[in-house]
Amino acid sequence: MKKSLTNLDLNLLLCLQLLMQERSVTKAAKRMNVTPSAVSKSLAKLRAWFDDPLFVNTPLGLAPTPLMVSMEQSLADWMQMGESTA
């Protein structure tokens, strides 16, 4: 069953977008002005929501899973809509 992003906390989606851009929990945390621990907790919630690891650790940073890659454009579009209505 496909889940709708409309029921997910917008802050979690922002975290997901920044993780995709930065490929680093620490860098995403700095951009969000939160601790890396807070980003890790958000990532854990996102992993449970999507039932997918979303990112895997590599020597070069976080690498997106195929599911995350497939969601990247939709996530960017969804976040853009949120910014334009705010």
Q: Would you list the domain boundaries of the chain?
A: 6-85
Residue 82's contacts (CB-CB under 8 Å, 6 or more residues apart) are 10, 13
DSSP E strand boundaries for 1-86: 55-58, 61-64
pLDDT at 60: 94
- Give 80's pLDDT tier (boundaries 50, 70, 90): confident
- The class (CATH top level) of 6-85 is mainly alpha
**What is the pTM for the complete model shown?**
0.83
Judge whether residue 37 has pLDDT over 60. yes
Q: What are phi and psi of 34, to 5 degrees?
A: -135, 175
Q: Are 64 and 16 in contact (CB under 8 A)?
A: no
- Give 36's pLDDT tier (boundaries 50, 70, 90): very high
Buried b (16+ CB within 10 A) or exposed e, 7-41: ebeeeebbbbbbbbebbbbebbbebbeeeeebbee
Tens of pLDDT, residues 43-60: 999 999 999 999 999 999
